[in-house]
Chain A
Amino acid sequence: MGRVHPWPKCLILAITIASACSFARALPQQAREERMIADGATGHAGGRLSVALRSEPKTLNPVLAVDEPSRDVIRCLTADLIHINRGSLKTEPSLAKSWSVSRDGRQYTLHLRHGLRFSDGEPFNADDVIFSFQVYLDEKINSSQRDLLVVGGKPIVVVKVDAYTVRFELAQPYAAAERLFDGVAILPRHLLESNYRGGSFSQAWSLSIPPNQFAGLGPFRLKEYVPGQRVVLERNPYYWKADTAGNQLPYLNEVVFLFVASEDAQVIRFQSGDTDVLSRFSAQNFAVLQKQQPEKRYHLDDLGPGLEYNFLFFNLNDLAPKGLPEIAKKQAWFQDLRFRQAVSAAIDRDGIVRLVYSGRATPIWDQVTPGNKLWLDDKIPHPTQSLEHARQLLQSAGFSWKSSTLVDPRGAPVEFSILTSSSNAQRLKIATIIQDDLSQLGMTVLVVPLEFHAMVDRLQNSYNYEAAMMGLVSGDADPTSEMNVWLSSGETHLWHPNQDKPATPWESEMDQLMQEQLITLDYAKRKRLYDRVQEIVAEDLPVICLVSPNILVGASNRVGNFRPGILVPYALWNVEQLYIQ
């Protein structure tokens, strides 16, 4: 007992020598490894970057992560097959060096890079891809990405062609198929398969795992997690991207995510130099940072409108099964297009931009923001606020005024409440402005701030609300990411979700348009279809679009290659290229 057979020791020794050699002679090794060259200024290695997160990440498991802090960290640790470049908003090769599409648009063949290694040094090949998609598509795992990978009602079929070629078969042609792969992190089969087979996948890769049991294909790997304080990532020595000069990326030695609970605290930490990069903060704080810049240690960028749109909508659900007679009575107003038009006409969108966003936002009249240049329909009219027009519309719909109070044709005073999330100061302010605008029309509006989950429960389950204010941020510029919102059967079809069949002619037209654009491969044709969807939104006002806030970011002047984009994550999307000057 206790005696070790001599040859494994030798083997270990041999491996150690070999890997030492591979470090010493990195160049010849690179020839076999098919690296991707990332363009951008050439930086230099070293340094650490500190970033604040609003809360602790819930998990490091890419399949299960839904909260933004988890995703922010996981993005630095993992890689996808095809990636959407946050600068150009177009797809680019990632772990797949190239791909081809069959003539019918239903088969995608992806060619993987050769010689890549996970951050623990284990090789990467098609088996990892097959395994990853098996996990994502497993109904028992219940990944939030699964919905995206189900095309035409059927899950994508993933076939291994050879060790470095994988074929994806779709049930129907899918316009934005390449974009599907963005954010689908490839998992290391050698580490997770036993968890998956053993049924413990949902517990795998919690935040407290030992760093050596975590591996990804991202620019960084896990180094340390200090509960309540920070997550520290270190550079992945096996990362597969290089700069134009041939230096291996990433440049940074470490990325530190600090947990800073509130936006204001984050702003203060950034201002004092504790963190290097700041995103997701208000226009007012932008102004504060701009004003109080003693030594110009940092710079601030206003990237213009992003993809977030804020809107007001009325409860158009079928309330008969829910038994809410009070709200059902008011639906007579909400369902009248002229009422919704009057509300839209009375809202001072410019005032909202000025008061709530200090001018750093854009008024909108449909769901596509000016930030989404590829899909914006510039023919949508932009009427300015007109109380006169609003009054005419209400009059034509049979409303009248009794001592400056608006009453409906039955003589009941027009009074309704607007739900907003109590944690969103901006939306609360917008609601207060709308309340004042509508009081000019003689409507009595109550603003009801609710805790976010309580609000969502009313919107999606009990339907016990009259009007509500929400904001949505598309994960991608492509309309496909909005399917859930505009299809009448969608869960996020907020004003009347999960319909069996469309309740109105315009919803049925919208359904057709959205389904058709999904399978149309020609951009110009798709654009025409989606333009029509925007027209319907602007004309029939299922949601009254209000403003799109600008994307604001800040970075310390020490950070080189900082090129923020309007897609999430706004600032750290090219973290592998960031360097400390």
Chain B
Amino acid sequence: MLPIRGCEQSDELTHRQKLAGALVLLTAVQILILFAGFFAPYNFAVQDRERPFAPPTSLHFKDARGNVHIRPFIYDLEGAGHSAGVSETDSEHPYPVHFFVRGTPYKIAAMFASRVHLFGVEAPGHIFLMGSDAYGRDQFSRFLFGGQISMLAGLIAAILSVSIGIIVGGIAGYYGGWVDELLMRGGELFLALPWLYLLFAVRAALPLHISQWEVFLLLVSVMGLIGWARPARLIRGVVLSAKQRNFVVAARGFGASDAYLLRRHVLPQTYGVLLTQMTLLIPQYVLAEVTLTFLGLGVGEPLPSWGSLLSSLQQYYVLSSYWWMFLPALLLIPLFLVFYTAADALQELHKSVTL
């Protein structure tokens, strides 16, 4: 017996370590996104029409004469404006990178106004860490600001669908019988609907004058409303088994009401599943937002979202000519992996706790 327990303990330890690592990384990303205005050198909507599809600016420490500088500097692009994707640099004029510079005003969490940016270069110079898009807008700044919309959308939509899932799944599992049948078959119907076409129709029927926030809320609520069926099924399963446990049966025998039983004994058993579901759903909904924006149903220009950053990759010329347009996609892969690692660790932990 002993060696097996020890093994379980060390497993639990690695799961905890994994979870902690993932959470630290996720928090770092959230901070980066929340303070996008500070970390981004430019506003997401500023167009530099002389520099469409500029490649990522490289940081230099060594100048043309071979002198090494501690402060990194950049060279601006030469002959900009004539053709997209210009790559010759003007090595005559170095622009040192300054930190904590004053630039375009922004707001953090829509409340605190500021003008200080983490880094930047002086006016005629341009620093595009991830290159620029078709309008000459800084991809790096857009990636950070885009994260605000995409992550918020993912979070709200996940909370929404899990909440509906709890209510529907809880009721269906607890009461069983025709209630269960009705709710679960209803859920299946929901899963079977061709949502994409429905969404196209909804967008065409909407009034033209809806603000970006209304579009955002619509997007989020649609994603959340579509997604409740799966968590509801899972929760129903957990509730179904939980309500037959001895202590629940005993509590019922002592005369506990349905509401009390659900609140006190049954639903707490679903928290592990819920948490895992949330961690899985957030990246899924971020991806759903990407898909919807990709299809033109997301937030409109000039607001960025991760979906709109990826949507330019639909075009062959972007795919084949401007490799830096892939950077947002490449950055999203590790982020989603972290989410899944967290979900995985959570699930394993939950398993070992219930065991």
Report A's interface with B, CB cutoff 8 A: 263-264, 267-268, 282, 284-285, 287-288, 291-292, 326, 348, 351, 354-355, 358-359, 415, 417, 419, 422, 425, 429, 431-433, 435-436, 439, 446-451, 454, 464-466
Contact = CB atoms under 8 A, between A and B. Distances in A.
Given A351-B49, A436-B47, A264 B315 contact: yes
A207 to B, nearest CB: 26
Contacts of B49: 348, 351, 354-355, 433
B302 A429 contact: no
22 contacts: A263-B316, A264-B315, A264-B316, A267-B316, A268-B316, A282-B317, A284-B317, A285-B316, A287-B84, A288-B317, A288-B321, A291-B321, A355-B49, A355-B136, A358-B84, A415-B209, A429-B134, A435-B301, A446-B208, A451-B204, A465-B208, A466-B208
Interface bin, chain B: 20 to 34
Q: Which of A292, A351, A419, A464 is packed against the most chain B CB atoms within 10 Å? A: A351
Interface in B175-233: 200, 203-204, 208-209, 211
Closest 10 pairs between A and B when the two form their complex, measured CB to CB: A264-B316, A284-B317, A454-B204, A351-B49, A432-B301, A417-B208, A288-B317, A422-B296, A355-B52, A448-B208
Contacts of B200: 451
Contacts of B209: 326, 415, 417, 446
Contacts of B52: 354-355
B83 interface: yes
Nearest to B135: A355
The B interface, classified by DSSP as helix, strand, loop or mixed, is loop
A291 B317 CA distance: 11
Contact of B320 (A292, A359, A447, A466): A292
A419 B84 CA distance: 27
A31 to B, nearest CB: 53
Given A288-B317, A288-B321, A431-B301, 13 more contacts: A263-B316, A264-B316, A282-B317, A285-B316, A288-B320, A354-B52, A355-B49, A429-B135, A439-B45, A446-B208, A446-B211, A446-B300, A448-B300
B317 A285 contact: yes
Counting chain A CB atoms within 10 Å of each CB, which of B81, B317, B321 scores highest?
B317
Interface of B: 45, 47, 49, 52, 81-84, 134-136, 200, 203-204, 208-209, 211, 296, 300-302, 315-318, 320-321
B81 to A, nearest CB: 7
B316 A436 contact: no
A361 to B, nearest CB: 14
B315 A425 contact: yes
Nearest to A431: B301
Given A354-B52, A358-B84, A432-B135, A464 B208 contact: yes
Contacts of B317: 282, 284-285, 287-288
Contact of B302 (A351, A354, A436, A448): A436
Contacts of A348: 49
A108 to B, nearest CB: 47
A398 B200 CA distance: 40
Nearest to B295: A422
Given A354-B49, A354-B52, A433-B135, A419 B208 contact: yes
B315 to A, nearest CB: 7
State the main secondary structure of chain A at its contact with B. Answer: helix
A333 B57 CA distance: 44
Contacts of B302: 432, 435-436
B56 to A, nearest CB: 19
A267 B316 CA distance: 9
A449 B296 contact: yes
Nearest to A283: B317
Contacts of A355: 49, 52, 84, 134-136
A284 B315 contact: yes
B204 A450 contact: yes
B208 A354 contact: no
A444 to B, nearest CB: 9
A288 B208 CA distance: 36
A209 B336 CA distance: 54
A422 B311 CA distance: 13
Contacts of A415: 209
A354 B81 contact: yes
A448 B211 CA distance: 11
A447 B318 CA distance: 22
A353 to B, nearest CB: 10
Contacts of B301: 431-432, 435, 447
Interface centre among B82, B204, B211 (most CB of A within 10 A): B204
Contacts of A267: 316
Contacts of A451: 200, 204
A359 B81 CA distance: 10
A359 B83 contact: yes
A514 B317 CA distance: 42
A554 B339 CA distance: 47
Contact of A288 (B45, B135, B203, B316): B316
Contacts of B321: 284, 287-288, 291
B299 to A, nearest CB: 11
A348 to B, nearest CB: 7
A427 B296 CA distance: 14
A209 to B, nearest CB: 33
A440 to B, nearest CB: 10
A465 B204 CA distance: 12
Contacts of B134: 355, 429
Nearest to A348: B49
A268 B296 CA distance: 24
A349 to B, nearest CB: 12
Contacts of A359: 82-83
A291 B316 CA distance: 13
A264 B204 CA distance: 26
